[in-house]
């Protein structure tokens, strides 16, 4: 029931995560593959979602049936627009979130959850597979791998090896092996990475942000904020890139799909996920380039 709506094409989930989802985690004996700096004492209970997290389904059938036919159509298409529009939130959350989204969405779209579970239980316990479902739900509910109200990173409650096993056992992997491998290469380590620089959303050097390029300073932001305020521009709808002596080659092609980037080996290029947490172009599900 947790993710019964995930094996459908892009559309808004009819489940929401209740705030108690992020309550204190009971003792865990899992050995997680975490990258932790010596300067940071990581408290896993702040980053792992428990398997007994409550899932609250939005009951809207009665209200929907009370609408006129025209109102039902309006509500339907508004819902679709909201879901498609929400995809930008993954890009705004973290560099790896769009890649994780595409990986998870392809896995659940390719086959029913029950079939995926049956194939994975040879090497996973029922609790570990549930942890995978809970992570997926938390990720989609927050539209990214950071909690939507505390800004702390969400880490799966199963090992990276077991997570990867689920990926490789999926029907999506067998149908698009090259693409799924490329997606996992891009986000597999970042899903589990927990350092002083990425444990929370925040200003560069202290957290993760896709609103600012990595070379922006607090003084730069003060100048930008003053400019936006003077011109009555809402900062939430802006992203700031700091360029120094850069020459831009204008492309004649107007759109680039994710598959183009993955298959060409240029995903997120020239912004490297592995080297630094820089902002990158909006490309989920397509890229707009000038």
- Residue 221's pLDDT is what? 85
Q: Over 70: is that where the pLDDT of 238 sits?
A: yes
Q: What is the pLDDT of residues 245-259, one digit of tens each?
A: 766 665 555 555 555
Q: Over 90: is that where the pLDDT of 224 sits?
A: no
CA quadruple 56, 57, 63, 67: dihedral, nearest 10: 140
Mark out the alpha helices in 1-125 (DSSP H runs): 61-65, 69-93, 97-110, 113-120
Q: What is the pTM of this model?
A: 0.69
- Residue 92's pLDDT is what? 87
CA–CA distances in Å: residue 169 to residues 122, 136, 163, 173, 236: 11, 16, 10, 7, 40
Q: What is the pLDDT of residues 169-220, one digit of tens each?
A: 999 999 999 999 999 999 999 999 988 888 888 877 778 888 888 788 888 8
Task: Kindly give, in sequence order, each residue whose CB lies less than 8 Å from that of residue 155, ignoring residues fewer than 6 positions away.
Answer: 32, 34, 44, 47, 48, 191, 192, 194
Rounded CA gap, 21 and 134, in Å? Answer: 10
- Residue 242's pLDDT is what? 84
Give the single-character DSSP code of 24.
P
């Amino acid at each position: 029931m947790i993710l019964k709506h995930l094996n459908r094409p892009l559309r808004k989930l009819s489940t929401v995560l209740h705030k108690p989802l992020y309550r204190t985690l009971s003792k865990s004996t899992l050995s997680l593959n975490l990258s932790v700096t010596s300067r940071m004492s990581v408290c896993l209970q702040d980053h792992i979602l428990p398997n007994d997290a409550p899932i609250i389904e939005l009951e809207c059938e009665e209200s929907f049936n009370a609408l006129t036919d025209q109102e039902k159509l309006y509500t339907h298409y508004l819902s679709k627009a909201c879901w498609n529009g929400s995809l930008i939130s993954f890009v705004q959350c973290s560099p790896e979130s769009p890649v994780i989204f595409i990986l998870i969405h392809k896995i659940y779209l390719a086959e029913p959850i029950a079939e995926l579970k049956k194939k994975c239980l040879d090497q996973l316990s029922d609790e570990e597979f549930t942890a995978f479902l809970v992570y997926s739900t938390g990720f989609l509910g927050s539209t990214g791998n950071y909690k939507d109200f505390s800004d702390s990173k969400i880490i799966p409650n199963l090992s990276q090896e077991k997570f990867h096993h689920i990926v490789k056992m999926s029907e999506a992997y067998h149908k698009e092996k090259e693409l799924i491998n490329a997606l996992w290469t891009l986000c597999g380590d970042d899903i589990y990475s927990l350092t002083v620089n990425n444990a929370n959303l925040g200003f560069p050097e202290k957290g993760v942000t896709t609103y600012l390029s990595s070379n922006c300073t607090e003084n730069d932001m003060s100048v930008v904020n003053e400019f936006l305020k003077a011109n009555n521009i809402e900062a939430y709808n802006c992203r700031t890139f700091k360029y120094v002596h850069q020459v831009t080659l204008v492309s004649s092609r107007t759109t680039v799909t994710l598959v183009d980037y993955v298959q060409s080996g240029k995903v997120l290029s020239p912004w490297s996920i592995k080297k630094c947490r820089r902002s990158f172009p909006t490309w989920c599900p397509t890229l707009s380039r000038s």
